[in-house]
Amino acid sequence: MTSFSTSPGTRDILSPDAARWRAFQQIFADVVAGYGYRYMIPPMFEDLGVFQRLGEATEVVTKEMYDFEDKGGRHIALRPEQTASVCRAFVQHRPTTPWKVWYAGPNFRYEKPQQGRYRQFDQVGIEALGVSDPIADAEVIAVAARFYERLGLRKVALAINTLGSSTERQAWTEALRQYFDLRRDKLSPDSQVTLQKNALRVLDSKREQDAPVLAEAPRIESFLGPESQHHFAMVRSALDRMSIAYTVEARLVRGLDYYCHTTFEFVSTALNAAHTAIGGGGRYDGLVEQLGGPPTPGVGFALGLDRTLLACDAEGCFSPPSESVSVFVVDTTGGLEALALCDELRLASIAAEHAFEARSMKAQMKAADRSGAFLALIIGTNELESGTILMRSMTTGEQSSVARANVVASILATLSQQGTA
C-alpha cells in the first residue's frame, strides 16, 4: 500500500505543540484587544493580482507564489502574507477609519525548507489603516514588543529604519542602482543578479564580498525631505517615551516592496539559526490606492509564529499549557457508570475521561495515571450497591468514600480551592 507523509515545508503540529499554538494566538488576541484591534479572517486564496502588489521584483512574487488556474479559469494564489488581503478587504468594504484589525493563520511561500523556514507557516499580525501619525508607527511597534514580553522573551532586538516617501525611496533606489552598476564587478555573483531586479535589495546582502561596496553606498538620509525626517524623528521619540529599545539600521530594507517611511524588524538574539527574524513590518501608505482604493495610509506588522516559538524554546520560556483532564473515572462494573458520571462532570465543566472496553482495574488505573488527572473516581460493585464513589488523589494516593449524589459538588469545591476549575 502507498503511504503518505507531509509535503516538504509543511508539518503536522501535534500535542503539546498544537496547544502551545492556540495559547500563543490567545495571548496575542488578549494583547491586541488592549489596543482596540478587531479580529478579521481574510481568505487563504485571492486573485493573483492582489499579491502582485507586493512587488514585481520581490522573490515572494516571482519565485515563491503558490498560484494556479482554478476550474473557472481564474488566476488564483495562496496568500504569501495577509497585509495585501487586508488592504483589498478595506477597498471592498470601505469601513470607517481608523480601521484597526488583527489576524492569525497560515501563509504559503515556495521557499527552500529549513529550520525556521517553511512553505506553510503561521503569522499573527495587525494593520492600522487610515492613520498617518508617526505615533501610530511607534504604537504598532510597541504592540509587538509588549507581546514578546508577555511570552517571556527577553533576547529580542528591534531594528528600525526609514525608507522615506515613495518618491524619496525611488530617488534613493535609482542612486543605488547607478552606484552599484559602476561597481558591479566588485559585487558577489548573487548580488549582481539581485541588482538586475531590485537595487534596494542588494543592501540586504550579508555576503563578505559585498561589504566594502555596501559600506560606501548612498544612504537614505541624503534623500529625505523635512517631512520624512520629522516623521522618523517622531517615531524615535515615541519609542523612547515608551522606553522601547531599538537600533537604527540604515540597511534595513525588508523583503516586500510596499513599504515607505518606517520599517522595522525584530530579531531573536537567542537563535543562531539562519533565520532569526521573528517579526517585521512597517508603513505602506500607497498599497490601498494600488489596489483600487482611495489614498489611505497604513502601518502594521506580522510575527512568525513558528519562528517565535523556536525563540521561546531557545530562551526556555512559554511552555505548552496542560491538556490533562481533571478527573479519570475507573469503572469495573461494565462501563455505563463511568459514562454517566463523566457526562455529569462535563456538564459541570469538569474535564473527565474514562476507559473503554471493560478493561481490568489495573489497566484502568494505569490509564488514569497516564491521563494526568489529579483525581481518580473509582466505581466497583461495592460502590454501586452502596451508592458511593471512591475518590483517590493521584498525587498523594489518599482515598475517601463520597456519596454518589454529592460527588460533582465535592469535586467542584476541591477544584475551586485549587483554582483550576
| Ranges within 218-257 binding ligand HAM (CB under 6 A) | 255-256
Give the cell for residue 227: 517631512
> Which one among 280, 350, 354, 391 touches ligand HAM, defined by CB under 6 A?
280
CA angle 60, 61, 67 (to 5 degrees): 110
DSSP result, 308-344: HHHHHHHHT-SPPPP---SEEEEESS-SHHHHHHHHH
Given 282, 311, 354, 364, the residue binding ligand HAM (CB under 6 A)? 282
**Nearer of residues 42 and 350 to ligand HAM, judged by Cβ:** 42
SS3 sequence, 291-316? Answer: CCCCCCCEEEEEEEHHHHHHHHHHHC
Residue with cell 498544537: 18
CB of 78 to ligand HAM, least distance (A): 13
Does the footprint of ligand HAM cover residue 277 (CB under 6 A)? yes
* Binding window for ligand HAM (CB under 6 A); candidates: 44-52, 112-120, 198-206, 326-334: 112-120
Which region, judged by CB under 6 A, interacts with ligand HAM, from 161-169, 205-213, 274-282, 389-397? 274-282
Name the segment binding ligand HAM (CB under 6 A); options: 111-119, 144-152, 166-174, 311-319.
111-119
Q: Which of 45, 118, 232, 246 binds ligand HAM (CB under 6 A)?
A: 118
Q: Helix 305-315 to helix 17-33 angle, to the nearest 10 degrees?
A: 100
Q: Kindly state the smallest distance separating residue 80's Cβ from ligand HAM, in Å.
A: 7
The conformational region for residue 203 under phi > 0 = left, psi -120 to 50 = alpha, else beta, is alpha
Using rule CB under 6 A, residue 55 touches ligand HAM = no
- HEC sequence for 369-410: HHHCCCEEEEECHHHHHHCEEEEEECCCCCEEEEEHHHHHHH
Nearer Cβ to ligand HAM (144/407): 144
Q: 10 Å Cβ neighbour count for 400?
A: 11
Q: Among 66, 67, 111, 394, indicate the residue that binds ligand HAM (CB under 6 A).
A: 111
Q: Which is nearer to ligand HAM, 42 or 300 (CB)?
A: 300
Min CB(118)–ligand HAM separation in Å: 4
Cα(76)–Cα(66) distance, integer angstroms: 8
Residue from 46, 59, 127, 315 in contact with ligand HAM (CB under 6 A)? 127
Q: Is 90 in the site for ligand HAM (CB under 6 A)?
A: no
Is the distance from CB of 327 to CB of 350 less than 8 angstroms?
A: yes
Interface residue with ligand HAM, options 306, 315, 337, 383 (CB under 6 A): 306
The Cα–Cα gap between 65 and 44 comes to 13
Stretch that binds ligand HAM, among 13-21, 118-126, 141-149, 211-219 (CB under 6 A): 118-126
- Tell me if 278 contacts ligand HAM by CB under 6 A: yes
Q: Are residues 254 and 58 in contact, defined by beta-carbon separation less than 8 angstroms? A: no
**Is the alpha carbon torsion for 71, 72, 73, 79 positive or negative?**
negative
137 touches ligand HAM by CB under 6 A = no
Query: Which ranges of 79-197 does DSSP label H, i.e. alpha helix?
Result: 83-93, 134-151, 166-182, 189-197
* Smaller CB separation from ligand HAM, 304 or 352: 304
What is the contact surface with ligand HAM in residues (CB under 6 A)?
81, 83, 109, 111, 116-118, 121, 123, 125, 127, 255-256, 277-282, 284, 300-302, 304, 306-307
